[in-house]
Amino acid sequence: MLVLGIETTCDETAAAVVERQADGSGKILSNIVRSQTAEHARFGGVVPEIAARAHVDLLDGIVASAMKEAGVGYAQLSAVAAAAGPGLIGGVIVGLTTAKAIAMVHDMPLIAVNHLEAHALTPRLTCALAFPYCLFLASGGHTQIVAVVGVGQYVRLGTTVDDAMGEAFDKVAKMLSLPYPGGPQVERAAEDGDAKRFTFPRPMLGRPDANFSLSGLKTAVRNEASRLVPLEPQDVSDLCASFQAAVLETTADRLSVGLKLFQEQFGTPRALVAAGGVAANRAIRGALQDVAARAETTLIIPPPALCTDNGAMIAWAGAERMALGLTDTMEAPPRARWLLDANAKAPVGHANSRAGY
């Protein structure tokens, strides 16, 4: 089974061809990603209109490159999959419309993929992980703990009640005048900082639910930064280190609760999986490793190129769904919001911040 995947939910224009083999394993034949970081840098964040126009300009060429690199023609494809949400609606429309056109012209099935499901299923592409497992999804637009029970079967165990984790990193970077994208800049500055200089709050620590809250922590950083103006380079490093330490402790606590809830409902998870750009943060990876060890489970983090938005994860999710006979019609709608767990309440986090994560 060969599937072309298209991803345009935020500021990456991406396309890939993935093969799902008879034994259920996957192979990436091509994975082309064009980031729009330079276009948005002067604004300090993603501008939806600019992102959508860039997708229009870039996507046809990206798809052609993905097909050429994979060495396949459209007649060899089993289906075309596109991220139909959640995300910036202009970009989602561009990708989904392109996929519909390809499906119509070449008379092949269309699969409208939930972007979050693509993240959730990525470890099954990289290491053939069996269900059920626990997913920690942390990016510029999402922070969730999810029980991945099967394809199309997800239970959200925890989410952010305000800012997404990557968004918090982004806003802290901006208030400290660090370059865009902010997440990696905060991580780098923290390496030279004193994490004990500032005592920031650990929101939601010790609560029986597995939810996150990052808005108050972000405000605490702003208050300290305002008190110290003008900021010296060491002040910035210490603020970043203290902020990151608070995020690490909070994340470890929230994930420990999430894994306990998972155990109560679904038994021992086969793994703790981290996805989304925040998983590229080395300090957070270390904290996740400690949480997994205490829970006596395995930590799985896909390669960095598959943690951030990419076409291969969309193609793979499409292949997983098609293997179960789950395809879509031309009426499949683009969605700005699309819950992974249909029974969960809509998250409040904003989807237009990237933080470089």
Q: Binding site residues, as ranges? A: 115, 119, 137-141, 170, 183, 187, 281, 309
Q: Binding site residues for substrate, as ranges? A: 137-141, 170, 183, 187, 281
Question: By C-alpha distance, which of 288, 296, 305 is closest to 247?
Answer: 288
How does strand 2-7 pair with strand 79-85?
A: parallel
SS (H, E, C) the chain: CEEEEEECCCCEEEEEEEEECCCCCEEEEEEEEEECHHHHHHHCCCCHHHHHHHHHHHHHHHHHHHHHHHCCCHHHCCEEEEEEECCCHHHHHHHHHHHHHHHHHCCCCEEEEEHHHHHHHHHHHHHCCCCCEEEEEECCCCEEEEEEEECCEEEEEEEECCCCHHHHHHHHHHHCCCCCCHHHHHHHHHHCCCCCCCCCCCCCCCCCCCCECCHHHHHHHHHHHHHHCCCCHHHHHHHHHHHHHHHHHHHHHHHHHHHHHHHHHHCCCCCEEEECHHHHCHHHHHHHHHHHHHCCCCEECCCHHHHCCCHHHHHHHHHHHHHCCCCECCCCCCCCCCCCCCCCCCCCCCCCCCCCC
Q: Binding site residues for Fe cation, as ranges? A: 115, 119, 309
